[in-house]
Structure 1
Amino acid sequence: MGLKSSFQFAFLSLGLYVSGAVAAFGYTTSGNNYVVDAGSANPLIFSVSKSSCDINSIRYRGTELQYSSQGTHIGSGLGSATVSISQLSGRFRYIKVTCVTPTLTHYMVVREGDSTIFMATYITQQPSIGELRFIARLLPARLPNEHPYGVASNTNGASSTVEGSDVFVVNGQTRSKFYSSSRFIDEQTHCVFGGSDLMHVCILTPQQESSSGGPFFRDIQTNNAGASTNLYNYMNSGHVQTEPYRMGLHGPYLMQFSRSGIPRVRDVDVSWFGELGITGYVPDSARGTVSGTASGVASGQEGVVHWFNSAAQYWARTDSNGRFTSPRMKPGQYTMVLYQTEFKIATTSVNVNAGGNTNMNIAGNFNTPRNTLFKIGEFDGQPTGFRNADKILRMHPSDSRMSSWGPLTYTVGSSSLYDFPMAIFQSVNNPVTIRFNLPNAPGAATLRIATTLSFAGSRPQARVNNWTGPAPSAPPKIDSRGVTRGAYRGNGEVYTVNIPAGVLVAGSNTITLSSISGSSGATFLGPNVILDCVELFQ
Structure 2
Amino acid sequence: MSAHRKHLTRRRLLAASSLGVAGTAAAVGTGMLSPASAATFGYSDDGSHYVIDTGASLVLKVSKSNGDISSLVYKGKEYEGFEGKHSHVETGLGASTVTIKQSESTILVKVAHGAITQWIAARSGQNNVYLWTDKADSSFTATRFIVRLRPGIFPTSDPDAWTSSDTVIEASDVFSRPDGTTRSKHYSGKRVIDYDHIGYTNGSAALWLVRSNHEKASGGPFYRSLLRHTNSTSAALYEILHYNQSQTEPERYGLQGPYVLSFTDGGAPSSSLFHANLDTSWVDGLGITGWVGRSGRGRVAGVGLKGMDAGHAYTVGFANSAAQYWARAASGTGAFSCPGMLPGTYTLTVHKGELAVHTASVTVSAGGTTTLNSITVGNDPSTANTIWRLGDWDGTPGEFKNAELMTYAHPSDSRAAKWTGNVVMGGGGEAASFPCYIWSGINDGVLVYFRLTAAQAAAAHTLRIGVTNAYINGRPRVTVNDWVSAIPSPPSQPSTRSLTTGSYRGNNHTFTYNVPASAWKTDTSQYNVLKLNIVSGSTGTAYLSAGTSFDCMDLLA
Alignment TM-score > 0.5, same fold? yes
Check conservation: 2:88, 2:146, Cα contact below 8 A.
yes
The residue number in structure 2 matching 1:530 is 549
Q: 1:166 aligns with which of 158, 167, 173?
A: 173
Change (3 A) 1:446 1:299: farther
Question: Aligned partners of 1:70 and 1:367: how far apart in 2?
Answer: 50
| Residues 94-105 of structure 1 aligned to structure 2 (within 5 Å) | 94-105=106-117
Specify every segment of 5 or more residues in structure 1 that has no aligned partner in the other structure, as ranges.
1-8, 16-20
Check conservation: 1:315, 1:327, Cα contact below 8 A.
no
Question: Aligned partners of 2:401 and 2:101: how far apart in 1?
Answer: 56
Question: Aligned partners of 1:170 and 1:53: how far apart in 2?
Answer: 37
Higher mean alpha-carbon deviation, 150-159 vs 69-78, is at: 150-159
The residue number in structure 2 matching 1:409 is 422
The residue number in structure 1 matching 2:153 is 142
Question: Aligned partners of 2:465 and 2:493: how far apart in 1?
Answer: 19
Higher mean alpha-carbon deviation, 106-115 vs 469-478, is at: 469-478
What whole-Å deviation, never above 9, does each CA across 1:33-75 have from its counterpart, x for those lacking one? 00001111xx100111000101111100111111251111111
Secondary structure of 2:407 counterpart? coil
Q: 1:185 aligns with which of 193, 207, 212?
A: 193
Question: Aligned partners of 2:344 and 2:335: how far apart in 1?
Answer: 22
Secondary structure of 1:345 counterpart? strand
Shift of 1:262: 1.0
Name the aligned partner's letter for residue 217 of structure 1.
Y
Name the aligned partner's letter for residue 96 of structure 2.
A
Question: Aligned partners of 2:327 and 2:453: how far apart in 1?
Answer: 44
Change (3 A) 1:80 1:427: same
Shift of 1:217: 0.6
The residue number in structure 1 matching 2:267 is 261
Q: TM-score, normalised by structure 2?
A: 0.88
Name the aligned partner's letter for residue 280 of structure 1.
G
Secondary structure of 1:48 counterpart? strand
| Residues 323-338 of structure 1 aligned to structure 2 (within 5 Å) | 323-338=335-350
| Residues 419-434 of structure 1 aligned to structure 2 (within 5 Å) | 419-434=433-448
Check conservation: 1:192, 1:229, Cα contact below 8 A.
no
Residues 1:201 and 2:207 are matched in the alignment: yes
Check conservation: 2:6, 2:42, Cα contact below 8 A.
no
The residue number in structure 1 matching 2:62 is 48
Name the aligned partner's letter for residue 244 of structure 1.
P
Question: Aligned partners of 1:123 and 1:177: how far apart in 2?
Answer: 25
The residue number in structure 1 matching 2:15 is none
Shift of 1:390: 1.8
Question: Aligned partners of 1:471 and 1:328: how far apart in 2?
Answer: 46
Question: Aligned partners of 2:155 and 2:94: how far apart in 1?
Answer: 28
The residue number in structure 2 matching 1:275 is 285
Aligned Cα root-mean-square deviation (Å): 2.0
The residue number in structure 1 matching 2:24 is none
Q: 1:297 aligns with which of 303, 308, 316?
A: 308
Check conservation: 2:117, 2:135, Cα contact below 8 A.
yes
| Residues 126-525 of structure 1 aligned to structure 2 (within 5 Å) | 126-128=138-140, 130-145=141-156, 150-172=157-179, 173-194=181-202, 197=204, 199-263=205-269, 264=271, 265=274, 268-292=278-302, 293-320=304-331, 321-360=333-372, 361-367=374-380, 369-406=383-420, 408-416=421-429, 417-442=431-456, 443-505=459-521, 506-507=524-525, 508-525=527-544
The residue number in structure 2 matching 1:121 is 133
Check conservation: 1:106, 1:120, Cα contact below 8 A.
yes
Equivalenced residues, count: 511
Question: Aligned partners of 2:85 and 2:177: how far apart in 1?
Answer: 24
Question: Aligned partners of 2:155 and 2:117: how far apart in 1?
Answer: 31
What whole-Å deviation, never above 9, does each CA across 1:143-186 have from its counterpart, x for those lacking one? 233xxxx5201022243211111111234321100002521111
Shift of 1:113: 0.8
The residue number in structure 1 matching 2:86 is 71
Shift of 1:537: 1.2
Name the aligned partner's letter for residue 529 of structure 2.
T
Shift of 1:474: 1.4
Change (3 A) 1:37 1:181: farther
Specify every segment of 5 or more residues in structure 2 that has no aligned partner in the other structure, as ranges.
8-36
Secondary structure of 1:291 counterpart? strand
Question: Aligned partners of 1:162 and 1:474: how far apart in 2?
Answer: 28
After TM superposition, the runs of 4+ consecutive aligned structure 1 residues lying more than 6 A away are none
Question: Aligned partners of 1:246 and 1:370: how far apart in 2?
Answer: 37
Check conservation: 2:493, 2:506, Cα contact below 8 A.
no
Check conservation: 2:280, 2:293, Cα contact below 8 A.
no
Q: Structure 1 vs Structure 2: percent identity of aligned residues? A: 36
Q: TM-score, normalised by structure 1?
A: 0.91
Check conservation: 1:294, 1:303, Cα contact below 8 A.
no
Question: Aligned partners of 2:38 and 2:54: how far apart in 1?
Answer: 10
Check conservation: 2:201, 2:266, Cα contact below 8 A.
no
The residue number in structure 2 matching 1:5 is none
Question: Aligned partners of 1:419 and 1:477: how far apart in 2?
Answer: 26
Name the aligned partner's letter for residue 47 of structure 2.
G
Name the aligned partner's letter for residue 272 of structure 1.
W
